[in-house]
Amino acid sequence: MDAYAVVMAGGRGERLWPLSTPEHPKPFLRLFNGKSLLEATLDRLAGLFPEERTLLLLREDLKPAVEALEPKARVVYEPSARDTAGALVLALAHVAHEAPQARLVLLPADHYVNDTQLFQNDLTAALEAADPPHVVTLGIPPTRPETGYGYIRLGARENGWHRAEAFVEKPTYATALHYLQSRQYLWNAGIFAFAVPTMEALLEAHLPEHYRAYRALRAAIGTDAYPEVLAEHWATLPKTSIDYGIMEKAPHVRVIPARFGWDDVGTWRALERTLPLDEYDNAVAGTGRHVGVETRGCVIYAQDGLVATLGVSGLIVAQLGKTVLVADKERAHEVRELVRRLENGQAS
């Protein structure tokens, strides 16, 4: 089987501000064992996909950071962010140019996975189940009533996978609790496997503008016209996600419950879940120092220097250079709104 891995690393990670910024987004953060999330993702894929069949998609403005990282992958640059459906079009064009019948696994660059062997086993199973016209997704068994993720409703079970009955948007807390208790829903981790002809047909049926861009790009790859064709089609490509544009409408979707531990590390609370806690339930990270007195249940990040806390609990305190974030841990999901207000000059 010709199989390719496509790693999407274009997200900004606004909810992890000020740790994650547009110039240094979440995939480049060194949070675990001195490696960036992107490097960890590529390492997990290395046992299954050779470097020449591993594509890394990033925004062109991140080129200096990518070159400093020297990733073990073929880098494909996006002129600007066009959401995950845009990344899919560009990746599919490059793979189809080389191997028109190949199978792909498409995944984000910035997730936490706790078991590489189980991850590779599940990816292999997904690729094997991705015979046309099926798309296969890995769903994460939920461990809490999470309102920040999309869900997949499970259908009938066959041969180690389930039929995916529906993709469901982020729910309310009450609905998420029902999903958890029913055991009929999995978290949508955004990990998909499919064959090139399968996705071509889905693009043509559901995203015709993306399909036209795909056809043009595929024909232009390897020619002098490629930069011009990319610029022309990319400028007018609508921003939409794979979930909304394709998966919610695809008729033949299989879902495999993942066996590895997973987190999207999308918020400060998510980072807390992946870090060891001290005897007072504080999660502390960074290369700086933290000294706490009567400090409990906090998330502390010190890039350098000293962060000192006294008599506080349930806070996020993050120091990066001259920027400091202090927030109620229960409102970690609102950091994105804070960032947007700062960008618009609306914060007071």
Q: What is the mean pLDDT of residues 285-310?
A: 94
pLDDT of residue 347: 58
Torsions phi, psi of 119, nearest 5?
-60, -45
The whole-chain average pLDDT of the chain stands at 93
Using alpha carbons, list the distances in angstroms from residue 165 to 88, 122, 189: 23, 20, 16
Q: At what angle do helices 196-206 and 83-98 cross, to 10 degrees?
A: 140
pLDDT of residue 348: 57
* Structure-token match 């066009």, residue found: 82
Structure tokens at 73: 């992958």
pLDDT of residue 151: 97
| Single pTM value for the model | 0.92
Taking the C-alpha atoms of residue 74 and residue 6, their distance in angstroms, rounded to an integer, is: 10
pLDDT digits (tens, 9 = 90+) for 48-104: 999 999 999 999 999 988 888 889 999 999 999 899 999 999 999 999 999 999 999
Identify any residues that bridge with 312 across adjacent strands, giving them in sequence order: none
Q: What is the mean pLDDT of residues 99-126?
A: 96
Torsions phi, psi of 142, nearest 5?
-70, 145
pLDDT of residue 6: 97
Using alpha carbons, list the distances in angstroms from residue 220 to 54, 116, 210: 21, 37, 15
Domains of the chain: 3-263 (3.90.550.10), 268-343 (no CATH)
Q: β-strands 283-285, 299-302: how paired?
A: parallel
Q: Is 182 helix (H, G, I), strand (E, B) or coil?
A: helix
CB 235, CB 266: distance < 8 Å: no
Q: Is 143 helix (H, G, I), strand (E, B) or coil?
A: coil
pLDDT digits (tens, 9 = 90+) for 196-209: 999 999 999 999 99
pLDDT digits (tens, 9 = 90+) for 166-224: 999 999 999 999 999 999 999 999 999 999 999 999 999 999 999 999 999 999 999 99
